[in-house]
Structure 1
Amino acid sequence: MMKRILTVTFLLTTLLTAAQQDLFLSGENYFQQGQYIRAFESYQAASVGFQQQQTLDQYALCNLKMAECHLETGALNQCMSQARNTLEYITDVLPQEKVLQLRAQLLLGEAYLKAGRNDLAMETLTSAEQSLPDPTDLSAAECYNDLGVVYWNNKNKETAKSYHERALKIRKARLKGEDPLLADSYLNLGLIYLEDDFLQAVINFNNALKIYQAAYGKNHPSVALCYGNLAFANSAQNNFGEALTYLDLTMNIWDSHYSGDHPNKAFTLSNRGRILEAQGDYHKALLTQQEALQQYIRLYGVKHPEVANTFYLIGSVQLKQENYKEAVESFQKSIYANLQNQEYTSLYDLPELQDYFNADILLSSLQYKAQALEALHFGKTLKPSDIKSALSTYLKCDDLISQIRQKRLTEGDKIRIGSIAADVYDDGIRTALYLSDKTFQKKYFREIAFTFCERSKSAVLLEAINETKAKAFAGIPNHLLTLEDSLKTEISLLEQLLANTKDESRLGSLQNALFETRQSYRTFITSLEKEYPNYFNLKYRQADISVAALQEKLTPTAGVLSYFIGEESIFVFLISKKDFEVFSLPKADNLVQLTKGLRNAIKYHIPSTFQSSSISLYKQLIPDLPDGLQSLTIIPDGLLGTIPFESLLSESKDGGNNTYLLEKYAISYDYAASLLLEKLDAPAGTAMGILLTAPVSFEQNELTMASLPGSEQEVKEIRYLFLSGADAPEILLKDQASEAMLKSSKLSEYKYLHFATHGIVNESKPALSRIFLSPTENEDGSLYSGEIYGLNIGADLVTLSACETGLGKVEKGEGIIGLSRSLMYAGAKNLIVSLWQVSDASTAQLMIEFYKQHLNHSGNMIFADDLRKAKLSLLKSSSYSDPYYWAPFILIGL
């Protein structure tokens, strides 16, 4: 009898299990077809049976699939609730089911993403990443894919790309054929490429489309996503008709799958509104955006990033329609829709910068609100309250930019925000100067304008230098600093190897190693900032520099000219001991051509072009200066950092000879006024001695370059000059001038470092710019910019008597990025670098003369006048009077 009962029970359990599996598989089939409501019903029915049978892992899986159906239908609150409850259930009842736990975390992270809670998504997915059972399986690929989306939402583009590439690589290795998961990766990579590489974006979108159509047919939601992204791509290329066709295809699919409101429908409507706006059909654009807005509000309520973004887009249309008051209202609604717990009572209210959903949307809304207030003032009201509110809003933008920089992870992504910030600062400077002219608070508003100008200067470099100082004062143990140095060194080495490798078989392993090392570095920095809050506060402290503080440190004969190139004007800030003036000069239409023309005319000896471009640039850039000045520190902006101001010619008024700026002033350069003030305020250094380095021959280097026989004579002559002084010279010549020797030297102990060698600037990848030294068995002889960041330099002066070492990639809002920045970060107080290649004979003469002049008053660490006198000696000579020989060497510092 007992045996019969057991048999019947077993048979019944088997039948029940089979029935639940059929229901589950039915749900899977419906889900793949995009029929999410029917899929939910099947999963729900299956879950009941699995619970009754105590097949608890299958029960939990069904609940996760039900939550996934909620996600696809846009029922985000239900999705998050079910995903959280299931995660808690798995953690409590099925702690051994790590794969299910990971799946629940990933689903919850994706729900947070769609709900606009990028912060919670980051927290959840980072936790999932840290507990991955196998970092090379498909679950890991899904985690990397979702983290890529999180980083992309935060505009950490480079990090996002590395995560999506990692996910795609795993999926290619694990999946056979053209699986839809591969298409997910192609789709996300296409979005990352969309801003910078249209062709690559379209290739990725089409790859995804082909896979989705083969797997699901032509009417699946995943296919609609591809059409929507192809619409984006075509719109970016002004192919508006093609873009609208793709959006029609997209909406047809959404309508066939979803009745009523859905986030994807609202998103497609909003994109249609953007295209209509770009076509100039503002009336239809506004109606379409308003329809999208109402759908978003019904779905999410009034607090959501998509609601904020749609209010912003409505305001953009209204601004173009010159409906300024309505535009201000829309931008204000956008601002407060982006804030979780704040409301406004007046259009002039400004938010506390905390608990916002999306920083980039918030920045755009603030910036455009300020522009709309300006337009309202000038176009309608002329009310002082409107223009003053515009300035206050630009100041709030500046505060937010500082917060955004903290969230950018790589140098490239930090630099990218500088380009956006530059537009804010252009508007801010213009508005502040207008108020300076129209009110009795001239100095106050000029100071604000100067602050905006200063904010646009080398923010990434300043943050990096600040970070180094913060570590020194935050009490971080040496072993942690050593660990950080090793991680940074490893990243730099792997980047170099990747850039230079031609071995395809090594490429994959190098990419893996770089991804993992960067991952470790991010984790390390995050923990450091949490465990040492003082370090975090010091690192991101935004020190304001006052004009009065700078004036206090300037000598009566010293002046500073800080430049900002705006859309329509060049703003020049003149600061001397007694004067603070701001000049708004009309920006020449051919400014770029003039700067390039000047450089080329000097480099290729074209006297007529040099004469005209030099005189034109003098008129464009040099305002009337007060009497009594003998030195000028130039803080350039953008392309102005590529020209030597010393070579600018002031036109003679009486028919006599034109005069070089060099003949009037000792000229130096700096990246920012705050760095200049630090140098003026710094105590005298304690380092002694000079290290002279000259490889001379480069036959054994990776790149074979011409030998520099004049460099040997140059360093020997400089060594001779120093023999009689307190700064004992040390010389590394030929094979001794090796990369290995330099890295092993105690560079912080030298007062002067002098490199007479070749250098190459890599404008596309500044970290791969390099100085050439002699190779050894373990070193290739290329001291890369990335490696220089890791050196410990304490020199008062570093001289690169080399080719084009002062150049680099010009980034809007950041300046020139190259070798000189890395040396400044490594601790060099002052630098002499070159803007183009010069013969080693004239270089040797200039350098020898410079050190002669300097050693006449060796206790003075002001180098600008010494370099001026050395240049004047060449200018007066018979062989080297042409600017080609003396103009390229510039001093960054004092």
Structure 2
Amino acid sequence: MYQALYFTFIILLLSSFTGNCQDSTQAKIYFQKGDTMYMNGQLDSANFYYEKAGNIYEQLEDWPMMINCCRYIAFNLNLISEYDQALKFVDRAMKIGEEKLGSTSVPVGGLYNTYGVIYHHKGRYDESIEFYNKSVKIFVNELGEHHANVARTYNNIGEVYRDQSDYDKAMQFYLQTEIIFVKIYGKDHPMLNKVYNNMGIIYEVTGDPDKALEYYELTIALKQKMYGPDHPALSDTYNNVGIFYYNQKKIDKALEYHEKCLTLRLNAYGEISQDVAKSYSNIGELYLYKKDFSKALEYQNKSLKIFIELFGNYNPDPALVYDRIAKIHIQKKDIKSALSYYQFALQSLLKGFNSNNPYENPSLERINSPLTLLNVLTGKAESFFQIAFQN
């Protein structure tokens, strides 16, 4: 009797083990399919497979892999500007990570990094930096100072400082990223594409165009090696090269790169995307330079519509577009309309300021983008100067 019970127990144990192995193998297959879809720029399909993998990993109580699936889904949702949905996945993963793995575990550090990415894209820079710093602290303590996770987070912090126009601070973090990545991979590895792209931006805005173009071209080569020629990851660098040629007054060349960028972004993210809106606005700037005011307004209005749908009116992105539309009206000699759009820009920059009276300016509190505010106030001043000159 005892022998029969023993063999029954062994059979059940082996059956359970075999079932878990099969489930784990299936989850791995789904996860790899998700990676393949991401590499092909098919984000919805990638998330479909990451979610299937995540459900199995949750059943198996493989919490690090389950959390990875949630992070990847959130990252892809962030790329298509589905920020609230992305945060739901991170919140759920964070609750599980802290309960099952501990608040200082590496997967929790990864989730803090993902929070940082999402809040950066939402224009909430201080919160983004706060999350990144939490991430760095965990990664350094658990993995050491020269780990790829630390380098990636330094790069992300640099991007936030760049968007706040603190270029020296941004470059400090990019250089830290480069040092770690070169130590791990060597200087020509595709993993360096993002930081090289970002360093190119800093070289350009600080007045070294030759160095900027060198880094952009290196980035394109590394990204094509890593992803192939049609992946949306190339769009950021095409965008930067477009801006580079705009600054060099090579407008047709700039338009070529911005249209390449827009095509990749539309194919990957769809129309309602922060990155697509930025491309429309940049193309609008090119048409303004060409004095095609109708086309310039068409593209800026497309951009504005998307930004407002994504963020509402209080956000630096619609403020920048209002500022650009105002400049179109200035060139059209329609100063009254320009002042109206500058006022709309102020409303987007300062929470609680709702005045449509161009003779009113807000108190300088709760500003979400000081640099854009400076541009808007300068534009308003120039508009009033033109009115005075006309009179």
Which TM bucket (shorter chain)? 0.7 to 0.9
After TM superposition, the score normalised by the length of structure 1 is 0.37
Asked whether 1:121 is paired with 2:86, we answer: yes
1:565–1:254 distance in 2 versus 1, CA, 3 Å: closer
Aligned to 1:275: 244
1:221–1:571 distance in 2 versus 1, CA, 3 Å: closer
Asked whether the equivalents of residues 569 and 585 of structure 1 are also in contact (C-alpha less than 8 Å), the reply is: no
Asked whether 1:185 is paired with 2:153, we answer: yes
**1:697-846 aligned within 5 A:** none
Count of residues paired in the alignment: 364
Aligned to 1:549: none
**1:87-236 aligned within 5 A:** 87-91=54-58, 93-94=59-60, 96-133=61-98, 134-176=102-144, 178-194=146-162, 195-236=164-205
Q: Cα distance, 1:64 vs. partner? A: 3.1
Q: Cα distance, 1:120 vs. partner? A: 2.1
Identity among equivalent positions (%) equals 19
Asked whether 1:368 is paired with 2:336, we answer: no
**1:533-612 aligned within 5 A:** 566=378, 569=381
> Residues 762-785 of structure 1, C-alpha deviation per residue, up to 9 Å, x if partnerless?
xxxxxxxxxxxxxxxxxxxxxxxx
Asked whether the equivalents of residues 180 and 211 of structure 1 are also in contact (C-alpha less than 8 Å), the reply is: yes
Q: Cα distance, 1:571 vs. partner? A: 11
Asked whether the equivalents of residues 223 and 233 of structure 2 are also in contact (C-alpha less than 8 Å), the reply is: yes
Asked whether the equivalents of residues 34 and 50 of structure 2 are also in contact (C-alpha less than 8 Å), the reply is: yes
Asked whether 1:250 is paired with 2:250, we answer: no
Asked whether 1:296 is paired with 2:265, we answer: yes
Aligned to 1:449: 358
Specify the structure having the higher radius of gyration (Cα). Answer: 1
**1:191-590 aligned within 5 A:** 191-194=159-162, 195-336=164-305, 338=306, 353-356=308-311, 359-376=315-332, 378=333, 390=338, 393-394=341-342, 396-401=344-349, 405=351, 448-450=357-359, 452-453=360-361, 456-460=362-366, 566=378, 569=381
Aligned to 1:85: 52
Asked whether the equivalents of residues 296 and 306 of structure 1 are also in contact (C-alpha less than 8 Å), the reply is: yes
1:458–1:299 distance in 2 versus 1, CA, 3 Å: closer
1:460–1:296 distance in 2 versus 1, CA, 3 Å: closer
Asked whether the equivalents of residues 152 and 160 of structure 1 are also in contact (C-alpha less than 8 Å), the reply is: yes
In terms of fraction of residues, the more helix-rich structure is: 2
Paired letter, 1:316: E
Q: Cα distance, 1:459 vs. partner? A: 4.2
Asked whether the equivalents of residues 334 and 365 of structure 1 are also in contact (C-alpha less than 8 Å), the reply is: yes
After TM superposition, the score normalised by the length of structure 2 is 0.80
> SS where residue 171 of structure 1 aligns?
helix
1:279–1:87 distance in 2 versus 1, CA, 3 Å: same
> SS where residue 357 of structure 2 aligns?
helix
Q: Distance in 2 between matches of 1:55 and 1:301?
A: 36
1:123–1:585 distance in 2 versus 1, CA, 3 Å: farther
Asked whether the equivalents of residues 230 and 243 of structure 1 are also in contact (C-alpha less than 8 Å), the reply is: yes
Paired letter, 1:199: D
Q: Cα distance, 1:142 vs. partner? A: 0.4
1:70–1:217 distance in 2 versus 1, CA, 3 Å: farther
Asked whether the equivalents of residues 184 and 208 of structure 1 are also in contact (C-alpha less than 8 Å), the reply is: yes
> SS where residue 280 of structure 1 aligns?
coil
Q: Cα distance, 1:306 vs. partner? A: 1.5
Asked whether the equivalents of residues 71 and 111 of structure 2 are also in contact (C-alpha less than 8 Å), the reply is: yes
Q: Distance in 1 between matches of 2:382 and 2:219?
A: 46
Asked whether the equivalents of residues 167 and 202 of structure 2 are also in contact (C-alpha less than 8 Å), the reply is: yes
1:192–1:335 distance in 2 versus 1, CA, 3 Å: closer
Q: Cα distance, 1:114 vs. partner? A: 1.8
Q: Cα distance, 1:65 vs. partner? A: 4.3
Q: Cα distance, 1:247 vs. partner? A: 0.6
Q: Distance in 1 between matches of 2:21 and 2:292?
A: 64
1:326–1:131 distance in 2 versus 1, CA, 3 Å: same
Aligned to 2:372: none
Q: Cα distance, 1:97 vs. partner? A: 4.2
Q: Distance in 1 between matches of 2:381 and 2:177?
A: 46
Q: Distance in 2 between matches of 1:146 and 1:125?
A: 7
> SS where residue 213 of structure 1 aligns?
helix
CA RMSD of aligned residues (A): 3.6
1:571–1:307 distance in 2 versus 1, CA, 3 Å: closer
1:299–1:150 distance in 2 versus 1, CA, 3 Å: closer
Asked whether the equivalents of residues 227 and 246 of structure 1 are also in contact (C-alpha less than 8 Å), the reply is: yes
Paired letter, 1:304: S
> Residues 722-749 of structure 1, C-alpha deviation per residue, up to 9 Å, x if partnerless?
xxxxxxxxxxxxxxxxxxxxxxxxxxxx
> SS where residue 155 of structure 1 aligns?
coil
Asked whether 1:76 is paired with 2:13, we answer: no
Q: Distance in 2 between matches of 1:571 and 1:61?
A: 61
Q: Cα distance, 1:295 vs. partner? A: 2.6
Paired letter, 2:38: L
> Residues 501-539 of structure 1, C-alpha deviation per residue, up to 9 Å, x if partnerless?
xxxxxxxxxxxxxxxxxxxxxxxxxxxxxxxxxxxxxxx
Aligned to 1:64: 31
Q: Distance in 2 between matches of 1:240 and 1:131?
A: 47
Aligned to 1:417: none
- What are structure 1's unaligned runs of at least 5 residues? 18-49, 340-352, 379-385, 407-420, 429-446, 462-563, 573-583, 587-894
